[in-house]
Amino acid sequence: MIDLVPIDSDIGRRSGYGPPEAGRNVDHFALTIGEFDEEAIVAYLEENGVTVDRSGRRFGAQGYGPSVYFQDPDGNFVELKGPSEEAP
């Protein structure tokens, strides 16, 4: 799922984000990946000069699952999300 919210919409204005020249324009965007090996993902990112901001189990659009956050060159957060856990 990709949820795009225009900054000039009601929700966009309430978010506090603005155009790129005013700072970050999104909270984060997430990409779901089929096979999630947190240790390998973190090692790969760090080997390539990317600092992992946070990782662990998080709630997302499809439920709880493993997740890694880092920033892109513009300062926006990127989330790599593993498969969601099975519902009990």
Cβ atoms of residues 81 and 31 within 8 Å = yes
- Higher confidence at residue 70 or residue 22? 70
Average of pLDDT values for 11-38? 72
Domain of 51 in residue numbering reads as 23-81
- Higher confidence at residue 16 or residue 45? 45
Whether this prediction's pTM lies above 0.85 is answered by no
Q: Confidence class of residue 67 from pLDDT cuts 50, 70 and 90?
A: very high
Q: Confidence class of residue 38 from pLDDT cuts 50, 70 and 90?
A: very high
CATH number at residue 76: 3.10.180.10
User: Is there a domain that residue 88 lies in?
Assistant: no
Domain count of the fold of the chain: 1
Q: What DSSP line would sit under 17-78, residue for residue? A: ---GGGS-S-SEEEEE-SS--HHHHHHHHHHTTPPEEEEEEEEETTEEEEEEEEE-TTS-EE
